[in-house]
């Protein structure tokens, strides 16, 4: 009996590990890493280029006469802004400025003269609201706008400027627009955008460029549309 017990014990000691090795080992449970989403939150700065076109409506209240002309131009400039993302919604503010050369003219009510408008730059400060699908952002924007225009009356026969606007041509108005932006590489994104600007009707006085003497009153209504594309770098 003693020998039988020793034999059973020996079998158990040497056969146990072998039997345990034959048992299936349970594989560890694989957990996929959490998805990584692009975040639009943060400061950004960038540049843009595109095209713009405007309409200038002139009215001479002293005589009850009017004329109108349009122009188109390339534009280029820069922008800076900040976004804050909550779930898929993106809230932001942006400031941008563009240089351009919108020069248009038409025959004045006096057929011997040409009425000319030259718009040199345009700027805006806007609030933005967007909806993001990961790295794609669809947004709308709106806010205040500013521009600088020069108005002149030119003798059609001689090309001599006979009237210019006094007091400078800085104007203020509003803008609405929207666009689509896509983050294509790390901190870089590209966008396309359309904006409409309305500067209302501004009252000016024209003066002689030689003497500074008053000539007549002038009211000018100004509207601008632009399409631009650009890139932003995010900090």
**Is residue 116 situated within a structural domain?**
yes
The Cα 178–Cα 138 span in angstroms is 8
**Is residue 191 situated within a structural domain?**
yes
* Position 234 pLDDT exceeds 50: yes
Length of the chain: 235
Give the pLDDT confidence score for residue 160 in this predicted structure. 97
**Is residue 26 situated within a structural domain?**
no
Banded pLDDT at 186 (limits 50, 70, 90): confident
**Is residue 21 situated within a structural domain?**
no
**Is residue 130 situated within a structural domain?**
yes
The Cα 232–Cα 235 span in angstroms is 10
The Cα 40–Cα 139 span in angstroms is 12
**Is residue 229 situated within a structural domain?**
yes
Who contacts 167 (Cβ-Cβ below 8 Å, separation ≥6)? 204, 205
Q: How many domains does the chain have?
A: 1
Give the pLDDT confidence score for residue 169 in this predicted structure. 85
Residue-range definition of the domain harbouring residue 182: 39-234
Integer CA distances (angstroms), 48 to 38, 77, 120, 139, in order: 23, 5, 16, 17
Q: Which residue has the tokens 């080992």?
A: 25
**Is residue 9 situated within a structural domain?**
no
Output the average pLDDT for the chain: 89
Average of per-residue pLDDT across 119-138 = 97
State what percent of residues in the chain have pLDDT above 90: 82
What is the greatest pairwise CA distance in the chain?
Answer: 137
CATH of the domain at 176: 2.40.160.20
Q: Under a CB-based contact definition with an 8 Å cutoff, are residues 15 and 7 in contact?
A: no
**Is residue 14 situated within a structural domain?**
no
């Amino acid at each position: 009996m003693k020998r039988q017990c020793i034999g059973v014990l020996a079998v158990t000691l040497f056969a146990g590990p072998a039997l345990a090795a034959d048992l299936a080992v349970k594989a560890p449970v694989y957990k996929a890493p959490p998805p990584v989403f692009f975040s639009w939150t943060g400061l950004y700065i960038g540049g843009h280029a595109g095209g713009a076109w405007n309409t200038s409506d002139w009215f001479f209240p002293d005589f009850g006469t009017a004329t109108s002309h349009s122009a188109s131009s390339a534009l280029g400039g820069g922008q800076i802004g900040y976004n804050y993302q909550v779930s898929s919604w993106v809230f932001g503010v942006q400031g941008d400025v563009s240089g351009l050369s919108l020069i248009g003219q038409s025959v004045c009510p006096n057929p011997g003269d040409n009425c000319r408008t030259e718009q040199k730059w345009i700027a805006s400060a806007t609030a933005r609201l967007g909806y993001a699908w990961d790295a794609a952002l669809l947004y709308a924007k709106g806010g205040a706008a500013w521009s600088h225009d020069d108005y002149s009356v030119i003798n059609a026969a001689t090309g001599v400027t006979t009237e210019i606007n006094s007091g400078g041509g800085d104007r203020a108005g509003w803008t609405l627009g929207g666009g689509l932006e896509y983050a294509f590489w790390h901190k870089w994104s590209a966008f396309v955008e359309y904006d409409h600007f309305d500067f209302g009707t501004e009252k000016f006085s024209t003066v002689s460029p030689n003497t500074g003497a008053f000539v007549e009153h002038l009211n000018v209504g100004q509207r601008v549309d632009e399409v631009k594309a650009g890139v932003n770098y995010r900090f």
